[in-house]
Amino acid sequence: MENVTFQNPDMAWHIAADIHLPPEFDATKQYPTIVSIHPFGSCKERASGNVYGKALATQGYVVIAFDASYQGASGGSPRWIESPSQRVEDVSHVIDYAVTLPYVDADRIGVIGVCGGGGYALSAALTEKRIKAVVGITPVNLGRLFREGFSGFDPVGTLTAMAAQRTAEARGQEVQVNELLPASPDVARENGLTERDVFEATDYYKTPRGQQPGGATRMVFSHAQKTLSWDAFAFAETFMTQPMMVVIGQKVGAFGAYRDGMEIYGRAMASKDRQLVELSDWSHYDIYDRDEPVGLALEKMIPFLQRHLGDEGVASAEAA
């Protein structure tokens, strides 16, 4: 694995990424390449890189797992902004970087994403046609989630509160950073926060299972206004033309990945190859890192990606 940082001319900050390379990597060859997008409130060292990125690299892919702008080891200030439009734009910036690497086959680039990253992967594919195949792994449409559960089903009231807080911060008040989860599974139980997704998110992010120095389950409240009007699947009926796979668990939770996965699958009628994978005995957070559901997901993903991207380095650098 290689750790890299890079900057695009239209950005004021850098993006940090881990590049997972295939076994017996040969820099004189060109490889199919996958951009891997981490969940909301996460980082590249978790499911997007250290689970799915590593696994796909062993299958012959170059995998670029990156930290979103404002998060992890990437730049951007203030920290912990969750900006859907920037998150989608980050994908194009990573592809801009990837196509400068001599061992990346620019005609064989795919994108995968986990949770909110799955929603961003699907959204990016709508307009970024350098993406030749896309996989949403338990994908969440973050705009829908913010309009509903994350705003207490009061999106206009939430926007009003965000507006007041942003004005206060512009006048010198401290930036409000919201912690998104209980401090531990025990704290979640003590406060009755045992709904499946909330509790399992806590068990993942607030224990050694998923904790990473670069990850933070925090969000700047005042800068999240535009998230509430964003839709990961806008115009999917027209623009989702690439091969697309959605992997979802049938153990449903409040964050809505099952619902969102079914929605994009139903709407993506223009996709050249539309695949829906339902894992009957598994939940949203199981699919992040549990061996059995991850293995089941990869059993479907790998043939799909091989069909549309190929599975090994081909063509010498001289012939490319």
Q: What is the dihedral of CA 214, 220, 223, 227, to 10 degrees?
A: 70
pLDDT classification of 8: cutoffs 50, 70, 90: confident
What's residue 169's pLDDT? 97
DSSP string over 94-134: HHHHHTTSTTEEEEEEEEEEETHHHHHHHHHHHH-TTEEEE
Query: What percent of the chain clears pLDDT 90, i.e. is strictly above it?
Result: 93
Average confidence score pLDDT of the chain? 95
What's residue 320's pLDDT? 33
pLDDT classification of 313: cutoffs 50, 70, 90: low
- The region of weakest confidence among 90-94, 112-116, 178-182, 316-320 is 316-320
Question: Which amino acid does the sequence have at 70?
Answer: Y
Instruction: Average the pLDDT over 193-207 and give the result.
Output: 97
| Residue 217 confidence (pLDDT) above 80 | yes
| Residue 4 confidence (pLDDT) above 90 | yes
Q: ∠ CA(234), CA(46), CA(250), 5° rounding?
A: 55
Nearest to 113 by CA among 130, 90, 96: 90
Instruction: Average the pLDDT over 1-21 and give the result.
Output: 93
pLDDT classification of 9: cutoffs 50, 70, 90: confident
**Cα–Cα dist 151/78, whole Å:** 22
- The region of weakest confidence among 10-14, 149-153, 247-251, 308-312 is 308-312
Q: Is 235 exposed, middle or buried (0-12, 13-18, 19+ CB in 10 A)?
A: exposed
SS3 of residue 299 by DSSP: helix
CB atoms within 10 A of CB 172: 6
Question: Which amino acid does the sequence have at 58?
Answer: T
Query: What percent of the chain clears pLDDT 70, i.e. is strictly above it?
Result: 97
| Residue 226 confidence (pLDDT) above 60 | yes
| Residue 116 confidence (pLDDT) above 50 | yes
Instruction: Average the pLDDT over 190-194 and give the result.
Output: 97
Instruction: Average the pLDDT over 144-165 and give the result.
Output: 97
| Residue 111 confidence (pLDDT) above 80 | yes
Tokens of 296: 């089941």
CATH number for 2-144+234-316: choose from 1.10.20.60, 3.40.350.10, 3.40.50.1820, 3.40.35.10: 3.40.50.1820
pLDDT, tens digit, 9 for 90 and up, residues 78-91: 999 999 999 999 99
Tokens of 91: 């994908």
pLDDT classification of 316: cutoffs 50, 70, 90: very low
Any idea where the domains of the chain sit in the sequence? 2-144+234-316
H or E element in which residue 155 lies? helix 155-170
| Residue 318 confidence (pLDDT) above 90 | no
pLDDT, tens digit, 9 for 90 and up, residues 234-280: 999 999 999 999 999 999 999 999 999 999 999 999 999 999 999 99
What's residue 190's pLDDT? 97
Cβ contact 124:100 at 8 Å: no
pLDDT, tens digit, 9 for 90 and up, residues 16-34: 999 999 999 999 999 999 9
